């Protein structure tokens, strides 16, 4: 058990609806990452936070995607106006970045999104 | 060229076999390197970090060749429980982890 939790584990929605996923990192970890993974591919980096600051968001897939980490603890990832191509596993990871070269990320179980 | 390339496999090997996976990366400024393991429909889990001097953890040996931008993972005495997808991961600049698509391994009795 890595300690990172994600909710919900599965989400089925209709095209055009908004969805929000939550991630609770390992409690002492200051970094939190969001990834998307499609079948047969490795995780694709989307964005990350150090404490409450979002330090990288240029890799978010479109302006329909947004993420927050308001108090530096849990984070949410929102997808607006979902499309069928958004169907994927959304993974959250956290790390305690003492030294950049040893930033080991621990993943949560993921939220599987299906857009009908 | 993909940033991190792996042979997708699948590798089908008998128990007890030795198997090696290779990975190449394109960004010469990459800072750190890892192998993750991912079981079917599960999250990736860190298997081991990869150091320039090479490192070993039990039956697993990882090596890095910065000049050739090449990473390898060797598994000796394969077990049925080693069956999984092995992801090569490259940390580009302290916040950007790039994953390969993974190499699938099946160990058969």
Q: Is a pLDDT exceeding 80 seen at residue B4? A: yes
**Which residue of chain B is at minimal alpha-carbon distance from A2?**
B45
Q: Which span out of A37-41, B15-19, B45-49 was modeled with the highest average pLDDT?
A: B15-19
A9 contacts in chain B (CB < 8 Å): none
Q: Is B57 on the interface with A (CB under 8 A)?
A: no
| CB-closest option in B43, B45, B94 to A100 | B94
Mean pLDDT rounded to a whole number for chain A? 91
A40 contacts in chain B (CB < 8 Å): 8, 101
Q: Is a pLDDT exceeding 70 seen at residue A101? A: no
The mean pLDDT of A38-53, rounded to a whole number, is 91
Q: Is A40 on the interface with B (CB under 8 A)?
A: yes
How many CB atoms within 10 Å of residue B55?
14
Per-residue confidence band for A104, with pLDDT thresholds at 50, 70 and 90: confident
| CB-closest option in A48, A103, A107 to B44 | A107
Q: Is B99 on the interface with A (CB under 8 A)?
A: yes
Q: Which B positions 25-54 lie with beta carbon below 8 A of chain A?
A: 31-32, 34, 42-46, 49
- Chain Cα centroid distance, residue B105: 11
The three-state DSSP-derived secondary structure of chain B is: CCCEEECCCCEEEECCCCEEEEEEECCCCCCEEEEEEECCCCCEEEEEEECCCCEEECCEEEEEECCCCEEEEEECCCCHHHCEEEEEEEECCCCCEEECCCEEEEEEC
Q: Is a pLDDT exceeding 60 seen at residue A2? A: no
Q: Is a pLDDT exceeding 90 seen at residue A55? A: no
CA-to-CA distance for B15 and B77, rounded, in angstroms?
7
Q: Is a pLDDT exceeding 90 seen at residue A64? A: yes
Q: Is a pLDDT exceeding 70 seen at residue A109? A: yes
Q: What is the pLDDT of residues A20-45, one digit of tens each?
A: 999 999 998 999 999 999 998 999 99
What is residue A70's three-state secondary structure?
A: coil
């Amino acid at each position: 058990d890595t300690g990172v939790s994600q909710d919900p584990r599965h989400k089925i929605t209709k095209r055009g609806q908004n969805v929000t996923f939550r991630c609770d990192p390992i409690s002492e970890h200051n970094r939190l990452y969001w990834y998307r993974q499609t079948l047969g591919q490795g995780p694709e980096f989307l964005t990350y936070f150090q404490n409450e600051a979002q330090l990288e968001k240029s890799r978010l897939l479109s302006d329909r995607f947004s993420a927050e980490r308001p108090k530096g603890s849990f984070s949410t990832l929102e997808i607006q106006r979902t499309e069928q191509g958004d169907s994927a596993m959304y993974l959250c990871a956290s790390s305690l970045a003492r030294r950049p070269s040893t930033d080991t990320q621990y993943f949560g179980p993921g939220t599987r999104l299906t857009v009908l | 060229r993909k940033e991190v390339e792996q042979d997708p496999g699948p590798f089908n090997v008998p128990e007890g076999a030795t198997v090696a996976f290779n990975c190449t990366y394109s960004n010469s400024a990459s800072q750190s390197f890892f192998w993750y393991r991912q079981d079917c429909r599960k999250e990736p889990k860190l298997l081991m970090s990869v150091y320039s001097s090479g490192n070993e953890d039990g039956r697993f040996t990882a090596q890095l060749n910065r000049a050739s931008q090449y990473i390898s993972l060797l598994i000796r005495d394969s077990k049925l429980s080693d069956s999984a997808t092995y992801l090569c991961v490259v940390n580009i600049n302290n916040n950007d982890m790039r994953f390969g698509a993974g190499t699938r391994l099946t160990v058969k009795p």
